[in-house]
Amino acid sequence: MLAATKPKIHIVSMSRRNVDEQRIKDQFTSQFKNVTYYQGDCLKPETYPKDLEEFDAIIHSVGAIMEGFDYKEVLQKGMNSKIFQKRDPINIIQQLLAQGMKPKYDESLEAMNRDSCKLMAEHFNNACKKQDKKGHFVFISASKSITPVLQKYSDMKEQAESFLLNNCPEIIPVILRPGFVWSENERSWSVPVKVANDFGYELKKKVLPLIPESRLIDHLFPQSQSTKLSLLADFAIQGALGQLDDLNKSHIWTNEKMNEMAK
């Protein structure tokens, strides 16, 4: 963990939540003196830290694969409840989506996955220009998904990537494209999804090539392996510290590249 291994680095954790809520939610991190909690909103530049020019790097981890409701909470409650045996939380989410909810702008896929990144990167780029320095901007993007309902999610991430690569000359982008992100501890609901995803990916890689005209159904299978949350966090930290600069000139780390380097 960065706060523990790099005590001389000052870390600012920005969230829409107020400072007390952030401390309660992350009690382990709050014990470190080099961590400061800050209430701000990526979609509202007026709430950014006033000393943004002093920052050396930003890790942008804002994102949502569905809009209009907290899908993570729905999944977590479904997995932990007694009624899970009767109601699949995935089906619950599908029912919510079918209701055709109209989310507010700041809860939309455009806002969460594209605009929050563009605004933050634009202002950090300007701050770096004033200081005549190069800053690092780590963006948690995503690999392509086979699920139609997630197509817009990956499209918005891709548009944010393009902005970083073409409109921010004063920052060094580090774009991470993980597959499905899973964790036994922090995302217990993700484990069965991870198993299904990786099984489908292995079928695509090893069985599909043996089937005539398999290209016609290739898009129905997972396009990448799952990504463990701890691996993604390690790459984000290395990217922020500039340790990946000379390892990948394209600035884009696909799921495959991350897994290969981690071996």
User: Domain ranges in the chain?
Assistant: 41-68+103-193+229-262
Return the pLDDT at 3: 84
Across 46-55, 98-107, 235-244, least confident range: 98-107
Please give the mean pLDDT across all residues of the chain: 85
**Contacting residues for 220 by C-beta, under 8 A, at least 6 apart:** 146
CA 102 from centre of chain: 23
pLDDT in tens, 81-120: 444 444 454 555 555 555 555 667 777 888 989 999 999 9
Taking the C-alpha atoms of residue 155 and residue 112, their distance in angstroms, rounded to an integer, is 12
Residue 65 has pLDDT above 80, yes or no: no
CA 242, 243, 244, 249 torsion: positive or negative? positive
Nearest alpha-carbon partner for 6 in 31, 34, 28, 38: 34
* Amino acid at position 30, single letter: S
Question: Which residue blocks in the chain are alpha helix, DSSP H?
Answer: 2-5, 19-25, 71-80, 89-98, 109-110, 116-131, 151-167, 190-202, 229-240, 255-262
Token representation of residue 227: 């990504």
pLDDT in tens, 70-83: 545 544 554 444 44
168: helix, strand or coil: coil
Return the pLDDT at 37: 96
- Name the CATH architecture for the domain at 41-68+103-193+229-262: 3-Layer(aba) Sandwich (3.40)
